[in-house]
Amino acid sequence: MKYKIAVIMGSDSDWSIMKEANELLLEFDLEPIIKIISAHRTPKDLEFWANDFEKNSIKVIIAGAGGAAHLPGMMAAFTSIPVIGVPVNATSLNGMDSLLSIVQMPKGIPVATVAINNAHNAAILAVSILGSFDADIFMKLKKYKDNLAEVSRNKKLPPN
C-alpha cells in the first residue's frame, strides 16, 4: 500500500507550479491526492478536508498558494498532519507576499515552507519525512540525491 500525500492548491492557476510536486511523488511511487481547495472561496470546506485527510491517513499535506496565501496556514490550523507550504509567485510582488504569509506563522501552528514556486522541493521534503520512518524510501531518496550529485559532476559547460 502506497503512502498518500495531499497536494492542494487555492486555484487551478497554481497547477503549472504544483504539478512538479505531483510528478516527483509519482516518481517515488507515492500516491498524490490532488485537490483544489481555496481558503478564501471555500473556507467552509477546510475543516471537512482536514478531517478527510486525517481519516484517510494522509501522511503529509503539500499546499501551494499565492498572494495573501492563507491555505497552508489554515490547513495547519485545522489538522495535526504536517503541512508543507509552497509560496506561489502570483502577484506583482514576486512571491514575497506569499512567502511571508506562509512562513511567518505564530507559535503553535507551523508551516514547513519551501522556496518560492519550488513545488518540486515540497515533494522532496515530503519524501524525506516518509524516509524518517521507512528505510526503503530513505534509501531511495539517498539514491536520488546521489544521482543529483552524479549529474552535477558530469555536467559539461556549453562551448564558449
Window 55 to 84, contacts with its own copies (CB under 8 A): 59-60, 66-68, 70, 73-74, 76-78, 80-82, 84
3-class state of residue 133 by DSSP: coil
CB of residue 1 vs its own copies: minimum separation in angstroms?
A: 14
Q: Is 13 left (phi over 0), alpha (psi -120 to 50) or beta?
A: alpha
The grid cell for 126 is 515530503
CA–CA dist 12, 5 (Å, integer): 18
Shortest spacing between CB 2 and its own copies, in angstroms: 15
Residue 1 touches its own copies, criterion: CB under 8 A: no
Nearer of residues 2 and 142 to its own copies, judged by Cβ:
142
- Binding status of residue 21 toward its own copies by CB under 8 A: no
- Residue number with CB closer to its own copies (30 or 84): 84
What is the secondary structure of 21-71 as a DSSP string?
HHHHHHHTT-EEEEEE--TTTSTTHHHHHHHHHHHTTEEEEEEEEESS--H
Q: Per rule CB under 8 A, is residue 49 in the interface with its own copies?
A: no
- Pick the binder of its own copies from 41, 48, 56, 136 (CB under 8 A): 41
Binding of its own copies at residue 6 (CB under 8 A)? no
